[in-house]
Amino acid sequence: METISILAQLIVSISVVIVWVFRYDNIVVEFKHYGLSSLVRNVVGASKIALATVLILGIWYQEFLIPASLLMAFLMLGAQYYHVKVKNPVMKFIPSFVLLILCLFIAAFNYGIL
């Protein structure tokens, strides 16, 4: 089960970096579509990249995993909210929903629930 948790950490972290670094143009368009400012976009992006880094560090330092995964889950929940708010098609919901579930799994596993 520990291997699955580490794999989830890697999936979440790599996905966030790909989206926020290599597909940043899409992020700019989406945040405009949601009616959010550049400041909010940059704070969310910096937070997600920082949390992704902490999730990677959590492979070796598990004490950081629960707060990092719960904060990332909160940000993914926010993404779900904005997808609903602008009535995006279901396909737009899936990536952030999968990452939300993975973050909750990471937190639950490292808390000892699973």
- pTM confidence score: 0.94
Mean pLDDT of 21-32: 95
Q: How confident is the model over 81-100, as pLDDT tens digits?
A: 999 999 999 999 999 999 99
Q: How high is the mean pLDDT of the chain?
A: 96
Closest residue by Cα to residue 76 from 21, 25, 13: 13
The rounded distance, in Å, linking the Cα atoms of 7 and 30 is 28
Question: Which amino acid appears at position 2 of this protein?
Answer: E
Which residues, including other chains, have CB under 8 Å from residue 57's CB and lie 6 or more apart? 64
Closest residue by Cα to residue 33 from 85, 90, 76, 80: 85
Cβ(80)–Cβ(93) under 8 Å?
Answer: yes
**Could you report how far apart the first and last alpha carbons of the chain are, in Å?**
9
Strand, helix or coil at 61? coil
Q: How confident is the model over 57-74, as pLDDT tens digits?
A: 999 999 999 999 999 999
